[in-house]
């Protein structure tokens, strides 16, 4: 794969987050689910924050939700993002409940077309042979 992505890359072999990256590579959105109480969680964690059960299973999510909050970045958070500014980052409340943060790729440069409560869906951007990033677009 050839890409000009120069941003930070996750460790896809990390035992805690690896299943998320494997799902993204397959074009799926996944999160941990507690085997005891059924609570979904994002960020991945070694124990359930609801019932303190160790572990958790990975389940596929619909990959849809609403914009809960957003910010338009006019300064790059690092040198790799210098050519991307301005860009919009949204906190998305997934239909299943957890919230995820990611770049909203179809927003106007100034974010004027983005509103709280807008429907979004996950999109997947392969940046290396091993890493596919989850992005968001309006549904």
Task: Convert the pLDDT of each residue in 72-107 to its tens digit.
Answer: 999 988 888 888 899 999 999 999 999 999 999 999
Domains of the chain (ranges, CATH numbers): 13-61 (no CATH), 62-139 (2.40.50.840)
* pLDDT at position 2 over 70: no
Residues in the chain, overall count: 139
Instruction: Tell me the whole-structure pTM to 2 decimals.
Output: 0.90
Instruction: Tell me the pLDDT band of 29, cut-offs 50, 70 and 90.
Output: very high
Q: CA dihedral defined by 43, 44, 47, 52, rounded to 10 degrees?
A: 40
How far apart CA 52 and CA 34 sit, in angstroms, is 9
Indicate the helix (H) or strand (E) that contains 19: helix 18-25
Phi then psi for residue 83, to 5 deg, are -80, -10
């Amino acid at each position: 794969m050839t890409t000009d992505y120069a941003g930070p890359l996750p460790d896809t072999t990390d035992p805690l987050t690896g299943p998320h990256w494997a799902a993204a590579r397959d074009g799926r959105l996944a999160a941990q689910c507690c085997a005891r109480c059924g609570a979904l969680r994002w960020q991945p964690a070694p124990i359930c924050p609801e019932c303190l059960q160790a572990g958790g299973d990975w389940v596929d999510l619909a990959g849809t939700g609403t914009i809960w909050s957003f910010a338009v970045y006019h300064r790059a958070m690092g040198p790799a993002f210098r050519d991307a500014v301005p860009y919009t980052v949204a906190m998305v409340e997934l239909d299943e409940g957890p919230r995820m943060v990611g770049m909203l790729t179809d927003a106007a440069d100034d974010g004027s077309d983005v509103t709280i409560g807008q429907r979004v869906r996950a999109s997947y951007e392969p940046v290396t042979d091993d890493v596919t990033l989850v992005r968001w677009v309006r549904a």
